[in-house]
């Protein structure tokens, strides 16, 4: 069993936290894991992307070939579109619908939304608002991870929540609880789709 996941977004949105949690959970499940990241521009609001390859068998490359990604988790809708060439037929896109407009040539949001709707398997929701509604405005990435949990399949949602507890434990119990609450709210959104 295997799962190839691309995480995408803009610097500061928490993509690497998602990668750390999924990685922790994969190791906890005795899975093989390969990860490649691009985050050189993250401090300037640039593209941040991570390839995660999880498998019960050895993995020989950390990069996902075009047309082989089974799941794109994106903190930003335009960034979800950027990685469409990597999406496998029948693959899923879980994306925040709220844009992070950091460039003057950002396309019209209606066009971005229309392009996403052309894809067969998309869950698009305002994870920023979901996190705010949970009283945890900095946990938008965990709301998105919660929505994606159902589609990761190789790792149980409870193990991902254990990963959240492990990764955020040093920040205190309230931060852990906030992130779990956002994760659960995102999970509920995905289960209704």
Give pLDDT, residue 40: 54
Give pLDDT, residue 12: 76
∠ CA 158-161-167 to the nearest 5 degrees?
A: 145
Give pLDDT, residue 104: 78
The CB-side HSE value for 114 (13 A sphere, CA atoms) comes to: 5
SS3 assignment, position 69: strand
CA distance 100 to 180: 24
Q: Which string of b and e fits 105-115 if b means at least 16 CB within 10 Å? A: eeeeeeebeee
The pTM for the full model equals 0.92
Inter-axis angle of helices 140-152 and 15-28, nearest 10: 40
CA nearest neighbour of 75 among 132, 22, 1, 125: 125
The two beta strands, 122-125 and 69-74, are: unpaired
Give pLDDT, residue 192: 83
CA nearest neighbour of 146 among 135, 156, 133: 156
Residue numbers in the chain where pLDDT is lower than 50: none
For residue range 90-124, list pLDDT tens digits in order.
999 999 999 887 777 888 889 999 999 999 999 99
Give pLDDT, residue 39: 55
Cβ neighbours around 39 below 10 Å, total: 15
């Amino acid at each position: 069993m295997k799962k190839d996941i691309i995480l995408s977004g803009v610097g500061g949105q928490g993509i690497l936290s998602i990668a750390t949690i999924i990685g922790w959970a994969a190791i906890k499940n005795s899975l093989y894991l390969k990860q490649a990241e691009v985050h050189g521009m993250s401090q300037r609001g640039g593209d941040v992307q991570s390839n995660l390859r999880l498998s019960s068998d050895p993995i020989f490359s950390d990069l996902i070939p075009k047309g082989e990604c089974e799941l794109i988790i994106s903190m930003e809708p335009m960034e979800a579109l950027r990685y469409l060439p990597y999406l496998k037929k029948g693959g899923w896109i879980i994306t925040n619908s709220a844009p992070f407009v950091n460039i003057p040539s950002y396309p019209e949001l209606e066009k971005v939304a229309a392009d996403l709707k052309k894809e067969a398997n998309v869950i698009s929701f305002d994870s920023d608002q979901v996190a705010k509604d949970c009283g945890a405005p900095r946990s938008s990435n965990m709301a998105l991870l919660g929505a994606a949990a159902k589609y990761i399949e190789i790792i149980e949602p409870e193990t991902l929540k254990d990963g959240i507890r492990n990764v955020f434990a040093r920040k205190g119990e309230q931060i852990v609880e906030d992130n779990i609450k956002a994760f659960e709210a995102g999970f509920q959104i995905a289960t209704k789709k």
